[in-house]
Amino acid sequence: MQIKIKTDTTALTIELANTPFAKQWGAYARGLTKDNFYITRPWSMMQNENLERAKKAHDDLVECIDYVSQHITDYDWSETKDAVSAVMQDRQQKHCNTIHRAFTFMVLKGHLTTFYTPELDKQVHIINSAVHELESFYTYQQLETRKQFNGQVQQVLFTDAGNMEGKDFSMWDTTITEPFDHTTQETNYDVWLNEDILGKDLVRCFLDNDDPNNPDITGNLFLTPSLYVDIDQIYSKVLNSPKFNEWHQRLCPNKTLDRYPIGNVIERNGVQVNLNAPVKEYSFE
């Protein structure tokens, strides 16, 4: 089975892997169309710095954490606030890890349900998007693992945390039960199920020098219509690197990757898409 994805400037043809999981995903995704709000965007594991955007993200974090901490009081916000204060001068990923974990705690503990208001929900999700903005344009530059495993990715996205209003999420209802173990299963693919994950998977955890034993470090828990196109096969290179596997065996040997390969790009035409370029064709053959 092949999937064709086109924008105004580029086209991808992906051959789905001959695996039970890829076949399951193909059957799930086949009924979806470009009208399901698919967008594509380029992404890099290490972006160029953009100080003004970093400052804007930092200002958003200060404002949002001040608001959320006044409404959710059974969480010690001191470490988070210290990390926000430190990150603009001490450009280390560990501060972003701490800030982002406040967001995942709110979700894992059910606070967005227990204390729900539209404004609180909005503010908590701004924390998530703002810390990723800081990571992309600020702290990645300091991580040796990011420099070692730097490459380009295109994501074919249904939506993202900042573009959820009015979207139909009825297809996000299929739980994944089969594990994916990178130490025993084939990883030589360049198209993977997108990382629609509350926290981060083991690869991103490794690249971010984070603690893999936190409960928000997981693989994919449910089927997603979004794809992660690993142009430079960096994901596979990380999974096969001695450095990653030593880290995995030392810190979390019983934790499986649970990210799932979908297939390989067999044809790519045109220039790289602009940010959030709409998909004009999304079809299976």
Q: How many CB atoms neighbour CB 218 within 10 A?
A: 20
* Cβ atoms 11, 267 nearer than 8 A: yes
For residue 138, name the pLDDT band (cuts at 50, 70, 90). low
CA-based radius of gyration for the chain = 19
**Any bridge partners for residue 153, and if so which?**
43, 230
Average pLDDT over residues 215-225: 93
For residue 139, name the pLDDT band (cuts at 50, 70, 90). low
- How far, in Å, are 66, 81, 173, 234 from residue 63 at the CA level? 5, 11, 34, 36
For residue 186, name the pLDDT band (cuts at 50, 70, 90). very high
For residue 29, name the pLDDT band (cuts at 50, 70, 90). confident
For the chain, what percent of residues have pLDDT higher than 70? 85
Tell me what pLDDT residue 181 has. Answer: 98
Average pLDDT over residues 63-76: 91
Average pLDDT over residues 125-132: 89
Task: Please say if the pLDDT value at position 198 is more than 70.
Answer: yes
Which stretch of 115-119, 150-154, 163-167, 207-211 has the lowest confidence by average pLDDT? Answer: 163-167
Q: What beta strand segments (E) does the chain contain? A: 2-6, 10-16, 39-44, 152-157, 191-193, 227-230, 261-270, 277-278, 281-284
Ranges of each domain in the chain: 2-45+151-284, 51-144
* Cβ atoms 96, 139 nearer than 8 A: yes
What is the total residue count of the chain? 285
What's the pLDDT tens digit per position in 81-114? Answer: 999 999 888 888 899 999 999 999 888 888 878 8
The mean of the pLDDT values for the chain is 85
